[in-house]
Amino acid sequence: MIFTAYTLFKLQGDLVYESQVLSISDLSDASIVFAKLYLITGLTLLIGLGGLVFSLNKSNVEVIYVEKKRNDNIDDQGEEKEEQKSHTLDLNIIRDMVAKEADQLILAKNILTHLCKHIDAGIGAFYTTSKEDGKRMLEMKASYALALGESQTIKFEFGEGLVGQAALEQKTLIIDDIPEGYIKIVSGLGSATPTHLLIVPVKRDNELFGVVEIASFTELGKNEAEMVGAAFKLLTQKSAGGTKATKAEEGTTEKPTEPEAEEKKEKKSRTTKKGSNKA
């Protein structure tokens, strides 16, 4: 483009002096035509240069944006990996708790407390299933940082509230916008409503055993839900073992062995015979 403009501006001299096609008088008569040609050429040159500068600037902005976006993605991935790493639960700690604590309610509270502290949760609760007047219920058996008196109990019917809904559907609920007034974290400095809620059904032998509810000011997701499920699964396994052992003991007590049964029959027979002789 610049070369073309340079050639056109030299055209007058080339026509008169080099090729001698026109004389100086002819050139004067055609001055208006050449002036228009120079004007159009100059404007074209300016527009072309303007477009070139704009394209270069736009390309530079796009390169900077792409590079910034790539760096942001790398930072986000790094933060996500770091968060996952910090929220990796060591199940050996839970197994150690299960092995050392025989009381199921104390064990549930210990596991819940460890989980809430590990994922920086503000409140936690553990409910077990029960039946009252033919209705399936959930009763709180353990809690963490919950503003509740010792004599107070919390119960939900299946399908009632978020906890009851999770129990009824046996599905994990992850809520990022807790309804105002649903629950409050209370401390000596005041009270505040958490922003994130996690409700995880706990199963034993494919049947609902209980529900874990955790509220926090930080985000709770699938990673935390899996940790809660894995931790309380260890609790249900110990509970199942204890239940089987109890049933086995009851079965041994209620059903006498064959020798014992024979001995009882003989004693009964002797007693009957003695009664007959006296008569």
The CATH number covering residue 107 comes to 3.30.450.40
The answer as to whether 82 is a domain residue is no
Cβ-contact 203, 90 below 8 angstroms: no
Higher per-residue confidence, 84 vs 233 = 233
- pLDDT of amino acid 254: 44
- Secondary structure class of 116 (helix, strand, coil): helix
113: pLDDT strictly greater than 60: yes
- Say what the pLDDT of residue 153 is: 83
Residue-level pLDDT at 180? 73
**Are both 54 and 13 inside the same structural domain?**
yes
Tell me the mean pLDDT in the region 266-277.
51
Q: Which residues pair with 140 in a beta bridge?
A: 127
Residue 57 lies in domain = 2-66
| Residue 81 covered by a domain | no
CA 138 to chain CA centroid, Å, is 24
- Helix, strand or coil for residue 141? strand
Q: So what's the pLDDT on residue 148? A: 72
DSSP 3-state of 263: helix
Run of H or E residues at 274: helix 258-278
pLDDT at 244: 47
Q: What percentage of the chain exceeds 90 in pLDDT? A: 39
Per-residue model confidence as pLDDT tens digits over 59-96: 554 444 445 555 555 555 555 544 544 458 899 999 99
Contact of 232 with 212, CB cutoff 8 Å: yes
- State residue 252's pLDDT score: 44
Q: What confidence category does residue 47 fall into, taking pLDDT thresholds of 50, 70 and 90? A: confident
In our burial notation (b when 16+ CB lie closer than 10 A, e otherwise), range 102-138 reads eebeebbbbbbbbbbebbebbbbbbbbbeeeeeebbb
Distance CA 110, CA 232 (A): 11
Question: Per-residue confidence at 41, pLDDT binned at 50, 70, 90?
Answer: confident
User: Residue 199: pLDDT band by 50, 70, 90 thresholds?
Assistant: very high
Confirm whether 167 is domain-assigned: yes
Rounded-to-integer distance, Cα 169 and Cα 176, Å: 19
Residue 145 has pLDDT above 50, yes or no: yes
Which pLDDT score is estimated for 103?
Answer: 94
The number of domains in the chain is 2
Residue pair 172/200 in contact by the 8 Å Cβ criterion: yes
- Residues 170-176: contacts with CB within 8 Å, 24+ apart? 170/201, 170/203, 170/208, 171/201, 172/198, 172/199, 172/200, 172/201, 172/225, 172/229, 173/197, 173/198, 173/199, 174/198, 174/220, 174/221, 174/222, 174/225, 175/199, 176/219
Q: Residue for token digits 């032998």?
A: 205
Both 32 and 164 in one domain: the answer is no
pTM: 0.57
